[in-house]
Amino acid sequence: MNKPKEELELHLQPHAAETVSIRIPTDTLESLKKVANSKDISPEALLKFYIG
């Protein structure tokens, strides 16, 4: 007998956020884009993961 898959609930709590600009060397940004692409996420999401 197979058990039904449990439903997962995602509970997100909003956090205050602010936009910032930073300078990243071109070669570093290209590397970041490659890593993000390999993980099927945006470079911005990858940066948030690294920082957060």
CB-side neighbour CA atoms (13 Å) of 48: 9
| pLDDT tens, position by position, 29-50 | 999 999 999 999 999 999 999 9
In a domain, 7, yes or no: no
Instruction: Please state the domain count of the chain.
Output: 1
Q: Could you give phi then psi for residue 50, rounded to 5 degrees?
A: -65, -40
This prediction's pTM: 0.63
Identify the domain containing residue 35 by its residue range.
Answer: 25-52
d(CA 21, CA 32): 16
In a domain, 12, yes or no: no
In a domain, 34, yes or no: yes
Amino acid sitting at position 11: H
In a domain, 14, yes or no: no
Instruction: Provide the pLDDT confidence category of residue 2 given band limits of 50, 70 and 90.
Output: low
